[in-house]
């Protein structure tokens, strides 16, 4: 079992945390059971956050995403009434 799945299995119940830019929430991450939802709170700040992260390794991002999905987790991105499963 990978470190990523071990960490996710240790987190139980329903957890919320925010990714913020300049002290304002951009994205709320919700972990519940085998589902991870990234709810966009402010689209402009979410875009700014994404641009800040563009300097990181994309291969690592896809690796982490693949491992999470292989562990049986569903990953969703939500904005208002729109919801997309990755």
Report the interhelical angle of 58-70 vs 3-10 (nearest 10°). 60
In three-state secondary structure terms, 78 is strand
Residue 59's pLDDT is 58
Residue 11's pLDDT is 67
The pLDDT of residue 1 is above 60: no
In three-state secondary structure terms, 41 is coil
* 56: DSSP letter: S
Residues 6 or more apart in contact with residue 45 via CB below 8 angstroms: 20, 21, 22, 24, 25, 26
Residue 64's pLDDT is 81
- Choose the weakest-confidence range: 10-14, 29-33, 77-81: 10-14
The whole-chain average pLDDT of the chain stands at 83
pTM score, whole prediction: 0.74
In this predicted model, which residue has the larger pLDDT, 65 or 14? 65
Confidence grade of residue 38 (pLDDT, cut at 50, 70, 90):
very high
Residues 45, 40, 81, 84, Cα dihedral to 10°: 120
């Amino acid at each position: 079992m990978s470190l990523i799945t071990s960490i996710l299995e240790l987190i139980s119940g329903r957890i919320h945390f925010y990714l913020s830019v300049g002290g304002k929430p951009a994205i709320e991450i919700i972990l519940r059971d085998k589902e991870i939802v990234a709810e966009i709170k402010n689209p402009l700040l979410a875009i700014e956050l994404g641009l800040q992260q563009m300097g990181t390794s994309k291969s690592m991002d896809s690796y982490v995403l693949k491992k999470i999905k292989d562990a049986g987790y569903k990953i969703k991105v939500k904005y208002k009434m729109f919801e997309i499963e990755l």
